[in-house]
Structure 1
Amino acid sequence: MKVYFVGAGPGNPELITVKGQRLLQEADVVIYAGSLINPVLLDNCRPECRRIDSADLSLEEVTELYREVDGSDSIVVRLHSGEPSLYGAIKEQIDWLHQQGIDYEVVPGVSSFSASAAALSAELTLPGISQTVVITRMAGRTPVPRGQEISSLAEHTPTMCIFLSVHMIENLVDELKTGYPEDTPVAVVERASWPDERVVRGTLSDIAVKVKEAGINKTAMIVVGGVLDGTYERSKLYDPEFTHGYRKAKNR
């Protein structure tokens, strides 16, 4: 048996990788997060493929499924939403497989923060505005390590992509204001790349009210930073007066 951790992408079924799609077509067993995965992706599976929704399963129940299949020549796809390395809880599964001597491989996927940037037609790194992207979440039932609180990160005013926090938007805004000015642009992208995708734009001064009015309380990405609006410096990469390894500077 071999287990493949496959990133399903943010929702649009065309945003799974070619390799991920091929593995779904070859899989004998697919264990998928039913609360997050677009079910259209399962249409890639063969009729005889066993499909198991893991939405209500614990880690122990998932690993028991691996144990049941172990010893066969089966291909098992563990289908995670977005990009498995971000909030995917794959490390604990990988450690268990390693202890059992079961082969595995991680197949990356398109993250919802990338899909959100696409929905916003945004470049998350702009010269003179931000060269740093922070991927994080608010502390809630799951705490964050000391020093990684939103208020601490906000002091550096990077582009911030905030997962799993829209239901705490008012508290989030309060923490962001410790570092960012009140007129800092903010965008909330609900269900990025899905057919019912919605975008709410505002600033730190009004985004909480707009999100509440829109009724958005889950499955949304929050993007914060000056890259969403305003002036920026021209990139040196395509500046004719800038020399790099593939081009010599030209006089204007």
Structure 2
Amino acid sequence: MNPSIPTPTTERFPVQIIGAGPGDPDLITVRGQNLLAQADTVFYTGSLVPTQMLQHCRPTADCIDTRSHTLETWLPMLRERVERGQRVVRLQDGDPCLYGALHELTAFLLKHEMAFEIVPGVSAFQLAAARLQVELTVPKLVQSIILTRVQGRTDVPGDEDLASLAAHRASLCLYLSARHAPDAQDKLLAHYPPDTPVALCYRLGWPDEQIHLRRLDGMAATTRETGFDRTVLYVISPALEARAEARSQLYSPSHSHLFRPSSPKS
């Protein structure tokens, strides 16, 4: 562990950036829930974090929805509360390190010398795999997971264009891309077979959650038919249809390791 990074405690970190998970209030971590229950002020994005998540807060906590704010309006509010000695939580959907505008938040906190802790959360791709009851890394079929998005108003580096990432034919989880589904489908079909299964996952963890399992060549049509244009995750992977028996080496009787040495030869 880097000795310059102190051990997390609420006292040493007046700002807690907590991953709320994809939506279900039960999917926040125990640490995240405990810290949320101690907060004096909670900043959250109401369009991405359901209000049910705030049931973990104290009745006296000031819960501020930032969906209509800019950084220039709510970050000074955060700073003012920290300077008053309050415990402040930034409650983010999913895991803060994935498409969570975390970088600009931490840059502000570092600039103003406000200590903070980041508490990880369950990401939508993890809940999607759980709902679909699949492993996204099946031995001899697929061993990599790519988390990405298509080019939109946020630039994607050229080397990370979907067409080049699709060439790996890994388990690919596509965020923030519903409005570009036709273009995404064309780029994916350049490398994946048309019958590759794709799961369209809408508002995972929310009461109105929906999951549609289709072929890749029907991804754009399914998006159009459902009318979903936001809060959608696509999971494209041969693992979604894995039926043949596939075993890892970890529990194979023919594979020895530190905790299970090979048997002496007879």
Class of the TM-score when normalised by the shorter of the 2 chains: over 0.9
Question: For 1:239, which of 228, 245, 252 is the aligned residue?
Answer: 252
Determine if contact 1:150/1:176 at 8 Å carries over to the other structure: yes
Q: Cα distance, 1:193 vs. partner? A: 2.1
Determine if contact 1:119/1:193 at 8 Å carries over to the other structure: no
- Residue 31 of structure 2 aligns to a residue whose secondary structure is helix
Q: Cα distance, 1:235 vs. partner? A: 1.2
Gaps of 5+ in 2: 1-12
Q: Cα distance, 1:167 vs. partner? A: 2.2
Runs of 4+ in 1 over 4 A off after TM superposition: none
Question: For 1:167, which of 179, 187, 204 is the aligned residue?
Answer: 179
Residues of 1 paired with 2:229 and 2:100: CA distance? 20
Q: Counterpart of 1:130? A: 142
Q: Counterpart of 2:61? A: 49
Q: Counterpart of 1:80? A: 92
What letter matches 2:143 in structure 1?
A: Q
Q: Cα distance, 1:228 vs. partner? A: 0.8
Determine if contact 1:127/1:233 at 8 Å carries over to the other structure: yes
Residues of 2 paired with 1:7 and 1:178: CA distance? 35
Q: Counterpart of 2:19? A: 7
Q: Cα distance, 1:217 vs. partner? A: 2.0
Q: TM-score normalized by structure 1?
A: 0.95
Q: Cα distance, 1:249 vs. partner? A: 4.6
Q: Cα distance, 1:238 vs. partner? A: 1.4
Determine if contact 2:82/2:88 at 8 Å carries over to the other structure: no
How many aligned positions are there? 251
What letter matches 1:203 in structure 2?
A: R
Determine if contact 2:189/2:217 at 8 Å carries over to the other structure: no
Identity of aligned residues (%): 40
Determine if contact 2:47/2:67 at 8 Å carries over to the other structure: yes
80-89 or 55-64, larger mean C-alpha shift:
55-64
2:238 matches 1:200: no
- Residue 235 of structure 2 aligns to a residue whose secondary structure is strand
For the aligned residue pairs, the C-alpha RMSD in angstroms reads 1.5
Q: Counterpart of 1:63? A: 75
Deviations 1:113-166 (A, max 9, x none): 111111111111111111110000011111100110110101111110010012
192-201 or 102-111, larger mean C-alpha shift:
192-201
- Residue 119 of structure 1 aligns to a residue whose secondary structure is helix
Q: Cα distance, 1:111 vs. partner? A: 0.5
Residues of 2 paired with 1:181 and 1:226: CA distance? 10
Gaps of 5+ in 1: none
Shift of the 232–205 alpha-carbon distance from structure 1 to 2, 3 Å rule, reads: farther
Q: Cα distance, 1:50 vs. partner? A: 0.9
151-160 or 178-187, larger mean C-alpha shift:
178-187
Residues of 2 paired with 1:248 and 1:195: CA distance? 48
What letter matches 2:261 in structure 1?
A: K
Question: For 1:89, which of 96, 101, 104 is the aligned residue?
Answer: 101
Q: Counterpart of 1:221? A: 233
Residues of 2 paired with 1:70 and 1:221: CA distance? 35
Q: Counterpart of 2:125? A: 113
- Residue 70 of structure 1 aligns to a residue whose secondary structure is helix
Determine if contact 1:127/1:232 at 8 Å carries over to the other structure: no
Question: For 2:156, which of 144, 152, 165 is the aligned residue?
Answer: 144
Q: Cα distance, 1:232 vs. partner? A: 5.8
Question: For 1:191, which of 171, 192, 203 is the aligned residue?
Answer: 203
Determine if contact 2:21/2:121 at 8 Å carries over to the other structure: yes
Q: TM-score normalized by structure 2?
A: 0.90
Q: Counterpart of 1:20? A: 32
Residues of 2 paired with 1:247 and 1:53: CA distance? 53
